[in-house]
Structures are given as C-alpha cells and as structure tokens.
Homo-oligomer: A and B are copies of this chain.
Amino acid sequence: MRHRNWDNFHEDLVEQYQVHSTREIHPRPRQILVDHVETHSGMQFEYVYRPLGAAAVFVLPITSDGQVALIRQYRHPLRREIIEIPAGSVEPGEDIFECAKRELLEEVGGTAEEWHPLPAFFPQPAFTGAIFYPFLALGVTLGEPQLEETEFITLQPTPLPEVYRMLDAGEILDGNSVIALYQARPLLVQRGLL
C-alpha cells in the first residue's frame, strides 16, 4: 500500500554545495552530521543536519463509532505533554505500511478495517532529511497498548467533529498531526463521517 506521491521522494540527488568534510556528532538512529561546505560563490560554512534515510509514520485512527484515537504524549524537547496522533519511526528495512500497522497496535492497541495512505512530506527540510508518511485508518478497534519503556502515552478518544473544531481553532499543536487531519478531511466528509 503506497500513495502515488511517494514517487516524488526518489528524485535524483544533486550536490549544490561542495562538501569538504563530514563529522558525525551523534550516531544512528538519531544520526547528526556537520558538513563543512562551500557554495558556488566561494563562501564556506558548517551545516548541521540529520541526513536522508530516517522515516516515520503517522496514523490517524478513526474508530467504528466516530472517535479519533488521539494520544497525549510527553515530549522531552518541549518539556510538556501534547496531543498527537499515534506515530513512530520506521525501523531499518521495515515496510512503511507494516510500520503503520505496528505503531497503531503498539500505541493504542489498535487494528483497522481499512487503510488509506496520505501524501508523505519532509517535516523540516532545512534541518532533516527525514520523510514522514501519514495514514488514515478507518474502522479501528482499540485494545491494550504495548508501549516501550520510554513512552508515556495516554489515550484520549475524541469525537471527530470536536477534533476538527480543535484543528480549526489552532488547538492541535503537533504539526504532523495537523497535516494528517487536513489531508484526511475530504475523505471523511465523503464517507459521511464528518
């Protein structure tokens, strides 16, 4: 299962900067590099970034009774909990759709009757080569989560109309959840779910 927009992520790579050297300042999986680069105009500077290769999935899970399985999750960089949809990193070699099914199961114990891939995107092109893959999951049944020991997640099922009211009011602060919600909206309306 794939979205046709995924083909856009296989474009030939180009080097517009000349890379004089590369230092790894943090190892995989959260690898961070510092390149010493030189532009056409001869300017030299250091570029710190996360390289191509990382990927994550985001799942917008709609239960059979029209609830969105939102989660509240503690995010250490923010020093707070925020509301998100279930998400997680694609493991090396893992199929993207299999990863989406796994994350839904792990984070909210969910299984879905119907899946729709949504357009993938770069979350922060100035800093990271990561690609994020959102999915819409319909007919979801929730169960017992299987959280990793470092995850602190609270399930917060919320009626679909309330979630879209929150979206329109700017109350969903996670940009990636915002994208999935906007992308899924026409299909949810078309299905009479919203």
Q: Which of A42-50, A107-115, A135-143 sits within the interface? A: A42-50
A interface residues, tally (CB under 8 Å): 69
A176 touches B175 (CB 8 A): yes
Report which residue of A81, A130, A150 has the largest number of chain B beta carbons within 10 angstroms of its beta carbon. Answer: A150
Residues of the B chain whose Cβ atoms lie less than 8 Å from the Cβ of A175? 121-124, 132, 175-176, 179
- How distant is A174 from chain B, measured CB to nearest CB, in Å? 6
Q: How many copies does the complex hold?
A: 2
- How distant is A164 from chain B, measured CB to nearest CB, in Å? 12
Residues of the B chain whose Cβ atoms lie less than 8 Å from the Cβ of A155? none
15 more contacts with CB within 8 A, not counting A123-B124, A123-B176, are: A9-B173, A16-B76, A17-B74, A25-B25, A26-B48, A43-B149, A49-B77, A50-B77, A50-B127, A77-B128, A121-B172, A122-B175, A132-B175, A178-B179, A179-B179
Residues of the B chain whose Cβ atoms lie less than 8 Å from the Cβ of A30? 48, 127
- How distant is A146 from chain B, measured CB to nearest CB, in Å? 15
Nearest B residue (CB) for A168: B186
Given contacts A124-B123, A171-B5, contact A77 B129 (CB under 8 A): yes
